[in-house]
Amino acid sequence: MCGIVGYIGKENATPILIDGLKKLEYRGYDSAGIAILNNGSIDLVKSKGRLSVLEEKLSGVNIGGTIGIGHTRWATHGEPNDVNSHPHMSRNGKFAVVHNGIIENYLQIKEFLIGKGYEFRSETDTEVVAHLIEYHYKGDLKEAVFKTLNEVEGAYALGVLSTDNPDMIVAAKKDSPLVVGLGKDENYIASDIPAILNYTRDILILEDKEVVLLTKDKAEIYNLLGEKQQRKVFHVDWDVSAAEKGGYEHFMIKEIFEEPASVKATLSPRIKDNEIVLDKFTITDEMIKNCEKIHIIACGTAYHAGVVGKYIIEKLARIPVETEVASEFRYRDPIINDKHLTIVLSQSGETIDTLMAMREAKRKGSRTLAIVNVVGSSIAREADDVLYTWAGPEIAVASTKAYNTQLSALYLVALSFGRRKGLLSDEEYNNYLNQLQQVPDMISKVLNEREDIQKFASEHFNARSVFYIGRGLDYALSMEGSLKLKEISYIHSEAYAGGELKHGTIALIEDGTLVICSLTQEQLFEKMIGNIREVKARGAVVMAIAYEKNAAEVAKIADSVITIPDADPTIAPIVAVTPMQLFAYYVSVMKGNDVDKPRNLAKSVTVE
Ligand code: G6P
């Protein structure tokens, strides 16, 4: 996803911008560029591809200047190429703009500006902002930016340079994140805090529809009515080194190995004297008793955690749950009222579809509970209650430890609600708590089995198409296993409910088709064995994920069995996802893919 960095101060801006953009690489991007104010004019260098390509271009030119803005672009409007990459310049060359988000009414504005004689170089929505500022500029940059922002619709984080204001960066945001970093005689803007952590830990978080006028010694924040806003400085106390690879070959495998610690960090502080204590929750027992329905909204991996959430909340708290992808939820006029609770799941806390869906739920009167990993993110700030997953920074685009911790948080919610409704006996409750606390050790055991998974991956990384089947919670789990494989191996794969396969999809099973089967749901064990027989009879190669106690029996029919410790079936998905993540990882490595930055994907999707 796009990234923004800006610098104003006394140092050469270029290396600071490049360094900041490198810290944002993990978000995914396809092109990059910088604009530097230098002796009354703007030097622009940009190019398609990785930052190393931009650095090569920069090595041939001599760009000085202590004020600049930089950008990594993840294409939305117009293909990834040099021209479409940011920054974009106004017609007269006086303004340079970087932008994250989407200007929704850009076509109307473009037509209007073309009518006024403006010519467009790129296919982007961003270019209209540069020209519109020029159109409104009558000698006052602040006024021109305000007029522009009052005309654009959609989402934006913006950074603007102007040759007439060589001592200022103007930045603004709405629905896309942007922060200001404060230094001594130098200041910064960034779409993500890690981009500037090498330089400062003092941050001002901009709210929606705010503009900041940034000089090297001042940051003035205004709302769009032109009223000055006060902002407390937020001091960042976490470390950039936590986001480094620490000896592993890829972030993804490092993050898979962090799962036991992440799950523990998410669970332990919330289980005190055998009772679940959920942070500063404001949801009362009365609200839980009267809750008619829960909506779980999320995207991607977080959505798959939400599918598991549906099963477990319905089972343990007996409240009907509907889990839906955020981009669908938002536009279907969902039936919601103030007796409903909306649970929003997001690793980044910035996914625009999820944020907007949450706002829609709020608008209709629902309480909102966010399960989020990034502290202070937009979703966390706007939800009524927040339960943080303490997974630590997740850098690999393919989400792993975030999923295990999202499930951990959902179990805490389901158990707490069930308990508070008086549905769980002491024995059941204690048993679940006990099982949950064993999850970190269980995942560690699975990690010790990684060589079996690696071997199986080395034999099957050339597969053309893979099916994941399971029943009940295993079906929910299969969805995540299948997504992981698609994301990083580029192998087509599908998740299917074991019992549904015979109603059509089994036609695709032929000699050698790889089928990954999960068998953690005891009451459905025999049924799943039946489904495995069906695919084996048609030539499938089967890898099964089964409990240690069932391994011998499953081995009679499957080609390979990966075992997990004998967990309670309700808890099993948090443990059983790990072999699936490892399988996807090893297949991707064997294929020589860019594991941490798979093609076409972005870590944090802040456009619709
Ligand atoms: C992107 C990522 C996925 C992620 C999804 C939701 O599509 O590539 O890995 O699951 O966004 O992200 P979130 O930060 O809201 O959990």
Which one has a higher pLDDT value, 242 or 598?
Answer: 598
Give dist(CA 569, CA 279) in Å, integer. 27
In order of 253, 298, 401, 437, 516, the CA distances from 257 in angstroms are 6, 25, 8, 17, 22
Give dist(CA 329, CA 324) in Å, integer. 6
Is 484 known to be catalytic? Answer: no
How many C-beta neighbours within 10 Å does residue 365 have? 11
Angle of CA points 350, 355, 361, to nearest 5°: 160
For strand 67-73 and strand 31-38, is the pairing parallel, antiparallel, or unpaired? Answer: antiparallel
Whether 10 shows a pLDDT value over 90: the answer reads yes
User: For a substitution probing ligand 1, which of 348, 405, 600, 608 has the most ligand atoms within 8 Å of its CB?
Assistant: 348
Whether 249 shows a pLDDT value over 70: the answer reads yes
Q: What is the mean pLDDT of residues 437-444?
A: 97
Q: What is the mean pLDDT of residues 10-21?
A: 96
Atom index in ligand 1 nearest the CA of residue 402 equals 16
pLDDT value for 285 = 94
Write out the E strands in 166-320.
169-174, 179-182, 187-190, 202-205, 210-214, 219-223, 228-229, 234-235, 271-272, 275-276, 293-298
pLDDT value for 369 = 98
Atom index in ligand 1 nearest the CA of residue 300 equals 10
Is 2 known to be catalytic? Answer: yes
Check if 177 has its Cβ closer than 6 Å to any atom of ligand 1.
no
Q: Using 50, 70 and 90 to split pLDDT, how confident is the model at 246?
A: low
- Ligand 1 centroid–CA 211 distance in Å is 28
- Ligand 1 centroid–CA 105 distance in Å is 26
Token digits of residue 339: 């007796």
Q: Whose CA is nearest to atom 8 of ligand 1?
A: 603
Instruction: Work out the mean pLDDT of the chain and round it to a whole number.
Output: 94
The predicted-structure confidence for 460-469, as pLDDT tens digits, reads as follows 999 999 999 9
Token digits of residue 466: 């893979």
Catalytic residue among 2, 291, 299, 517: 2
Q: What is the mean pLDDT of residues 232-243?
A: 74
- Ligand 1 centroid–CA 379 distance in Å is 13
Whether 240 shows a pLDDT value over 70: the answer reads no
Question: Coil, strand or helix: which one is 338?
Answer: coil
Q: Whose CA is nearest to atom 2 of ligand 1?
A: 603
Give dist(CA 187, CA 435) in Å, integer. 49
Check if 347 has its Cβ closer than 6 Å to any atom of ligand 1.
yes
Atom index in ligand 1 nearest the CA of residue 601 equals 8
Q: What is the mean pLDDT of residues 43-62?
A: 93
Whether 82 shows a pLDDT value over 90: the answer reads yes
* Bond before 334 cis per omega within 30 degrees: no
Give dist(CA 452, CA 75) in Å, integer. 39
DSSP 544: E
Give dist(CA 204, CA 235) in Å, integer. 9
pLDDT value for 241 = 59
Question: Coil, strand or helix: which one is 220?
Answer: strand
Q: Which of 59, 56, 44, 53 is nearest to 25 (CA)?
A: 53
Whether 339 shows a pLDDT value over 90: the answer reads yes
In order of 72, 167, 567, the CA distances from 218 in angstroms are 26, 11, 57
- Ligand 1 centroid–CA 345 distance in Å is 10
Atom index in ligand 1 nearest the CA of residue 354 equals 15
In order of 2, 214, 314, 476, 606, the CA distances from 163 in angstroms are 25, 15, 60, 55, 30
Give dist(CA 28, CA 329) in Å, integer. 26
Whether 376 shows a pLDDT value over 80: the answer reads no
Atom index in ligand 1 nearest the CA of residue 28 equals 8
Q: What global pTM score does this model have?
A: 0.79
Question: Coil, strand or helix: which one is 86?
Answer: coil
Q: Which of 246, 272, 270 is nearest to 258 (CA)?
A: 246
Check if 357 has its Cβ closer than 6 Å to any atom of ligand 1.
no
| Burial call 592-605: b when 16+ CB within 10 Å, e when fewer | ebebbbbeebbbbb
Check if 399 has its Cβ closer than 6 Å to any atom of ligand 1.
yes
Could you give the residue ranges of the DSSP H alpha helices within 44-122? Answer: 51-59, 106-115
- Ligand 1 centroid–CA 397 distance in Å is 8
Q: Which residues contact 301 (CB under 8 A, 6 or more apart)?
A: 347, 398, 399, 402, 403, 406, 480, 483
Whether 152 shows a pLDDT value over 60: the answer reads yes
Whether 13 shows a pLDDT value over 80: the answer reads yes
Q: Using 50, 70 and 90 to split pLDDT, how confident is the model at 239?
A: low
Q: What is the mean pLDDT of residues 196-220?
A: 95
Check if 301 has its Cβ closer than 6 Å to any atom of ligand 1.
yes
Q: Which residues contact 79 (CB under 8 A, 6 or more apart)?
A: 123
Whether 361 shows a pLDDT value over 60: the answer reads yes
Q: Which of 449, 440, 457, 466 is nearest to 571 (CA)?
A: 440
Whether 511 shows a pLDDT value over 60: the answer reads yes
The predicted-structure confidence for 377-411, as pLDDT tens digits, reads as follows 899 999 999 999 988 888 899 999 999 999 999 99
Q: Whose CA is nearest to atom 15 of ligand 1?
A: 346
pLDDT value for 243 = 53
Q: Using 50, 70 and 90 to split pLDDT, how confident is the model at 150?
A: very high
Give dist(CA 266, CA 259) in Å, integer. 10
pLDDT value for 238 = 67
User: For a substitution probing ligand 1, which of 330, 347, 487 has the most ligand atoms within 8 Å of its CB?
Assistant: 347
pLDDT value for 78 = 82
User: For a substitution probing ligand 1, which of 255, 351, 401, 487 has the most ligand atoms within 8 Å of its CB?
Assistant: 351
- Ligand 1 centroid–CA 350 distance in Å is 9
DSSP H or E stretch at residue 88: strand 88-89
Instruction: Give me the DSSP letters along 358-373.
Output: HHHHHHTT-EEEEEES
pLDDT value for 1 = 63
Q: What is the mean pLDDT of residues 307-323?
A: 98
Q: What is the mean pLDDT of residues 356-362?
A: 96
Q: What is the mean pLDDT of residues 145-165?
A: 96
Token digits of residue 105: 């009414």
- Ligand 1 centroid–CA 538 distance in Å is 36
Instruction: Give me the DSSP letters along 524-542.
Output: GHHHHHHHHHHHHTTT-EE
- Ligand 1 centroid–CA 396 distance in Å is 11
Token digits of residue 271: 């289980």
Q: Whose CA is nearest to atom 4 of ligand 1?
A: 300
Give the long-range contacts of residues 177-183, CB within 8 A, separation 24 or more: 177/100, 177/350, 177/377, 177/378, 177/606, 178/4, 178/100, 178/206, 179/203, 179/204, 179/205, 179/206, 180/204, 180/206, 180/212, 180/214, 180/219, 180/221, 182/219, 182/233, 183/9
Check if 305 has its Cβ closer than 6 Å to any atom of ligand 1.
no
Q: At what angle do helices 473-489 and 300-317 cross, to 10 degrees?
A: 170
Atom index in ligand 1 nearest the CA of residue 374 equals 14
Catalytic residue among 173, 216, 254, 603: 603
Token digits of residue 605: 């999707």
Atom index in ligand 1 nearest the CA of residue 399 equals 9
- Ligand 1 centroid–CA 477 distance in Å is 17
Q: What is the mean pLDDT of residues 246-259?
A: 89
Q: What is the mean pLDDT of residues 422-449?
A: 96
Contact 73, 2 (CB under 8 A): yes
pLDDT value for 80 = 85
DSSP 269: G
- Ligand 1 centroid–CA 347 distance in Å is 7
Question: Coil, strand or helix: which one is 441?
Answer: helix
Q: What is the mean pLDDT of residues 351-356?
A: 96
